[in-house]
Amino acid sequence: MSKTTSAADLGLTLAVDDEPALFGWFLASYLFGKRISQGIAAQAWTVLYRQYGRDTPRKLLDLSWRQLVGYLGEGHYRRYDESTATRLLDVCHQLQEEYGGSFVRLRDASTDRVDFESRLQRLKGVGPKTCEIFMREAGPLLFPD
């Protein structure tokens, strides 16, 4: 896998009207934004998104913390599995509560791309790196020139 993993590398085709794909890319960006190898992050993403079909914040929230820790472990994401599980549940809860689990709603609530990125980084556990990774591919779709 290349140093910079793309949505296409994960088999995702991003489209504004495809919330599961946008969430899939967000989930990947979230995992890639942490201090763990891209290969392990991609394995954990594959387990969560592909193997167990957690393609929306609501579906991820249907997991218990213990189940999520187990799924991350299946993907060899063991070093930070417990803290990552906690943060993933927190960020999905916040996405669900504030934006109905929708990145289009998050965009619609934003005045512009800068505001969108600011709102994105107010989500628990989303820092500049995760935002940068997500926006690299989702940004042009959500904010076409």
User: pLDDT tens-digit profile of 55-86?
Assistant: 999 999 999 999 999 999 999 988 778 999 99
The percentage of the chain sitting over the pLDDT mark of 70, rounded to a whole number, equals: 98
CB 4 within 8 A of CB 22: no
CA distance 83 to 86: 5
> For residue 71, which of 92, 101, 91, 51 has the smallest C-alpha distance?
51
pLDDT in tens, 104-126: 999 999 999 999 999 999 999 99
CATH number for the domain formed by residue range(s) 16-142: 1.10.340.30
Query: How far is CA 75 from its chain centroid?
Result: 16
Kindly report the pTM of this predicted structure.
0.95
**Chain position carrying tokens 């991350």:** 72
4: buried, middle or exposed (CB in 10 Å: 19+, 13-18, 0-12)?
Answer: exposed
Domain ranges of the chain: 16-142
- State how far the alpha carbon of 125 is from the alpha carbons of 18, 76, 90, in Å: 24, 20, 8
